[in-house]
Structure 1
Amino acid sequence: MRFAVLVFPGSNCDIDCYKAVEDTLGEPVDYVWHTATDLSAYDCILVPGGFSYGDYLRCGAISRFAPVMAEVAKAAEQGKYILGICNGFQILTEAGLLPGTLRRNMSLKFLCHDAVLRVENNETPFTSDYAKGEEIVVPIAHGEGNYYCDEETMAKLKANNQIIFTYASNPNGSLNDIAGISNEQGNVVGMMPHPERAVDSLLGSEDGKRMFTSILKAWRDRHDAAVVR
């Protein structure tokens, strides 16, 4: 399985994502610059956290126009796995690959600490190694993590089981305590907490590791099914 870690001007969690894949899974992983126009070689695309383009206009508002994002959209349509973390989540909402938007934290302060998340949906390629309702510890580091959408969108998120993670104790004012969501197909996930920073006990938690093992397991299951056919 091949992973791509996108790199925008201002990304600062790209190395964390790269190392999480390399150390946790041992699978091939590459940094891919924002000007890239071909992602066909990759099975999973990680859109990392940071401050792409300095967060000018809105977080992710400029990055969504980078050439690579057209390829991300194409990969999503093909059913490949896309994971946007923190600023990556913001970019995916700006690009229309996930519904809703991320606003300033209710406190108007940057938050950087561990957060307890509740697994709301463990039937996705990103969460199958968790138990539904399980509580995990994953750090947050954001100033604009307050998830918002209109009532119609929220109703769809609930009806389609697209709410993947919620906060056990809401740190930022997100509607319905939302910490992470998926698209309707379940192959695109965005989340504000940083699973790539929770893959080793030295970091304070290993609870993020199972997101990466879940992705690999989903890909292997799909790959083996394709070989059988």
Structure 2
Amino acid sequence: MRIGVVTFPGSLDDVDAQRAVRLGGSDAVPLWHGDADLKGVDAVVLPGGFSYGDYLRAGAISRFAPVMGEIIAAAQRGMPVLGICNGFQILCESHLLPGALIRNDHRRFVCRDQLLRVENNRTPWTAAYAEGQEIRIPLKNGEGGFVADAETLARIEGEGQVVARYLEVNPNGSLDDIAGVSNERGNVVGVMPHPEHAVEELTGTGTDGLGFFTSLAASVLA
């Protein structure tokens, strides 16, 4: 598998995501925000950070980067796309995912090891997990509160589009404790916590995040 990892101005975790992709058994292909070229990749990861300085609001400018035109079209054709933190914000701004991410309800940046429950393991990015499995991975955000209108919230809950949910504590005020969602088709997933920071025993919280990067190859081979 060839998985592209996009670098935007202000991306912080693109190299971490590339490493996680490689540890997950795939080839990591660097993609540049200014190039309308996906280099023939099989899937794309939008990493965390502060793309374009989070000017206007997080992800609002990145959504118009040349590479995003190609990603949006490929996602609509079924290409798997994973957005992590800022990448999740970009996917919502691109209307590839429902809802929006707003400033944390306590108005402070939060950085913690966060317990999650995997609610949907039927996506290409979560197939390595059991439904209901609890995992602990790092979380760091200032605009991580997931919101949606009542109709949208009812729809994504009813159709199983909630991918992960916060346990123990809701760190940012997300509605229904939602930590990640998918589109209706399931190929596009956004998560606010950072699985790429939990892929090795030596550092962080262990390897609970590695499943996001091994799932894709396993789902293709299934």
TM-score range, shorter chain: over 0.9
One-letter code aligned to 2:74: A
Query: How far apart are the structure 2 equivalents of 1:141 and 1:216?
Result: 27
Counterpart of 1:208? 209
Structure 1 residue runs of 5 or longer lacking an equivalent are 222-229
Indicate the residue corresponding to 2:175 in structure 1: 175
| Paired residue type of 1:6 | V
The residue number in structure 2 matching 1:195 is 195
Q: Report the more deviating stretch, 203-212 or 91-100.
A: 203-212
TM-score, scaled relative to structure 2: 0.96
Confirm whether residue 154 of structure 1 aligns to residue 153 of structure 2. yes
Aligned counterparts of 2:158 and 2:24: Cα–Cα separation in 1: 33
Counting matched residue pairs gives: 220
Using the alignment, how far apart are the partners of 2:35 and 2:221 within structure 1? 26
Matched, 1:16 2:16: yes
**1:112 correspondence with 2:76:** no
Letter matched to residue 80 of structure 1: M
**Matched residues in 1 for 2:102 and 2:54: separation?**
12
Q: Deviations over 1:4-26 (max 9, x none)?
A: 0001000010000001111231x
Which stretches of structure 1, 4 residues or more, deviate above 3 A after TM superposition? Answer: none
In the alignment, what sits opposite 1:125?
124
Residue 3 in 1 paired to residue 3 in 2?
yes
Whether contact under 8 Å (1:40, 1:75) holds in the other structure is no
SS at match of 1:59: coil
Q: Deviations over 1:45-95 (max 9, x none)?
A: 000000000000000000001011111111101211100000000000001
Q: Distance in 2 between the 1:108 and 1:163 partners?
A: 24
Instruction: State the shift of 1:188 in Å.
Output: 0.1
Cα separation, 2, equivalents of 1:104 and 1:77 = 28
More divergent stretch after superposition (119-128 vs 137-146): 119-128
Secondary structure in 2 aligned to 1:116? strand
**Alpha-carbon distance in 2 for matches of 1:53, 1:131:** 36
Aligned twin of 2:60: 61
Looking at structure 2, the residues matched to 118 and 112 of structure 1 have their Cα atoms a distance apart, in angstroms, of 18
Provide the identity percentage.
Answer: 53
Q: Contact 2:14 / 2:47 at 8 angstroms: preserved in 1?
A: yes
Aligned to 2:73: 74
RMSD: 1.0
Structure 2: gaps (5+ residues): none
- Aligned to 1:201, what secondary structure does the other structure show? coil
Question: Residue 202 of structure 2 aligns to a residue in which SS?
Answer: helix
Query: Deviation string for 1:75-127 (max 9, x for gaps)?
Result: 10121110000000000000111011101111111111100001111122111
Counterpart check, 1:184 vs 2:184 = yes
